[in-house]
Every structure is written in structure tokens, then in C-alpha cells.
Amino acid sequence: MESSQSASAPHRFNLAAILSVGLLLIFWQIASFLLPEFIVPGLQLIGLEFVKMFEEGTLVSDSALTLLRVMLGLIGGFIFGGALGLLMGLARRSEDYLMPLINFVMGVPALSWTLIVILWFRGTETRIFALMLAVSFPVFAHSILDAVKGVSRELLEMTLAFRPTRAQVLRLLILPSIVPSILTAWKVSIGFAVRVVIVAELVGASTGVGYRMVQQQSLLNMSGVLAWTLILVLLGLVLQGLITKSEQSLLKWRPTTR
């Protein structure tokens, strides 16, 4: 009974998603008949933009480049922020010194970081990576610190009863316990990173989805702007889907309420 309910849950979700997206497309197409093309272009015009992008080769090349920038920035933020989170969680005294700095970096707006990295660094890729690192590592640091603090004290005391080394405690107890929080931090960071990388490409790049959006905006081509926006949304959904699949694989042991 329980297994049949859990198996039918994804089907209900898929049906609801299809219906909601379908209704949105219907309302959009109706609005395109009532409003000017430069405000609400029809779906057929947006579709033609996709065809044009594919024929020009920009669809694959610029989308892949933006995706690569997002992933490199997130991986860098995860390594740096994760190391800081573990350090503060395992050496509590370090939190008093590091957390104010992390909170300060986290408080700087993404647009301000964009201007700062343009002045600090040379090269488009270096600037974008530095920007992604600055805005993503505080999220990972906070998430992993909270996860380490949330490790069960009973499990910790039970583990310490066997007199393990610090490396064994980290490998056998702490790391498995914080995996759910790590995956949640990745899901949160992906959506934020996709928006931030577009800001960087808007002002400091000559390639990528953000740059193409600026091109279309300068031509007053709303269809092109929306087509590239949809590409950006799809990139985010693909990354979210990969994290969700990883979560299902890594957290099979965790009981579900569905």
C-alpha cells in the first residue's frame, strides 16, 4: 500500500506540472493576440528564435559555456565554503573569528561583487569565477557548519566509545550525517548561481547566455530575450534534477513521509 502510494506520487506531480505549464502557455498565447509583439510575442515567434539560435550554433555553445561557468563557480564555492564549515564545526573556537568575515562577504550584494571583480581581475573567466566563488561559498559554509552542529550527540558519544581517530570520526560519522545538508545547499545555490552568472555575463562577458540576452535587448527583440531566458531556466532545472537524482541515490536509507 505504502509503496504504491510512493510510486504514484511522481505521476501526480508530473501531471500537475504539465497542466500548470500548459495553462501558462495558453494564457500567454491569448495575451499575445491582445498585446503588441514587443511586449508579449507569440509562442511561434519564440520557437522561431530557438530554430535561429540552433542554426547559428549559439544555442549549444553559449548554453554550454554558461553551464560550465556555473558549475566551476559552485564547485569552487563548495570546496572553499565546505572546508570553512568543517573547520568551524570541528574547531568551535575558529567560528568566533571566521563567521563575522563570512557574514560580511555574504552581506555584499551580487551586483557590488560584479563591479569589484571587474576592477580587481583581468580576464572574463577569472572575473566570473571570482564572482561565483564570493557569492556561493558563504552559503555552503553556513549549511555545513549547521549540519556539523546538528550531528546527534548520542551517536557521537557512541562512536567515541570505540576510541576512533579524528579522521575516523569525520569519515564514519560526520560526513555521512551532513550529506543531506550538503545536497540542500547545492539545490539552494544552483538557483542563486544561475542568476548571478547572468549578471556577470551581462556586464563583463562577450559570450554566454547573459551576453546573448543583452544582444537581443539592444535589438528590441523580445522573442530573443525570452528564448534565452527559457534556456537559462532549463539549465537551472537540469542542474536541480541532477541534484535530486543524487539525493535519491545517496539518501535511500532515509525514511520518507510520502
The residue type found at 177 is: S
Q: What is the pLDDT of residues 52-83, one digit of tens each?
A: 999 998 999 999 999 999 999 999 999 999 99
Per-position b or e across 69-104, b if 16+ CB within 10 A of its CB: bbebbbebbbebbbebbbbbbeeeeebeebbeebee
Question: Which of 128-137, 151-160, 179-188 shows the lowest per-residue confidence on average (mean pLDDT)?
Answer: 151-160
End-to-end Cα, the chain, rounded Å:
11
* The pLDDT of residue 10 is above 70: no
pTM of the model: 0.81
How confident is the prediction for the chain on average, in pLDDT?
A: 85
pLDDT at 12: 60
pLDDT at 110: 87
Distance between CA atoms of residues 251 and 182, nearest Å: 12
pLDDT at 145: 92
pLDDT at 8: 53
CATH class of 39-250: mainly alpha
Q: With cut-offs at 50, 70 and 90, classify the pLDDT of residue 256.
A: low
Q: What share of the chain is helix, strand, coil (3-state, %, to 5)?
A: 85, 0, 15
* The pLDDT of residue 24 is above 70: yes
185-208 mean pLDDT = 85
| Three-class secondary structure assignment of 94-121 | HHHHHHHHHHHHHHCCHHHHHHHHHHHC
More confident residue, 247 or 139: 139
- Residue ranges per structural domain of the chain: 1-34, 39-250
* The pLDDT of residue 254 is above 70: no
CA distances (Å), 25 to each of 40, 46, 118, in order?
A: 12, 12, 39
pLDDT > 90: percent of the chain:
39
pLDDT at 2: 46
Q: What is the pLDDT of residues 175-184, one digit of tens each?
A: 888 888 888 8
Question: Which of 126-140, 206-220, 239-253 shows the lowest per-residue confidence on average (mean pLDDT)?
Answer: 239-253
159-164 mean pLDDT = 76
2-16 mean pLDDT = 57
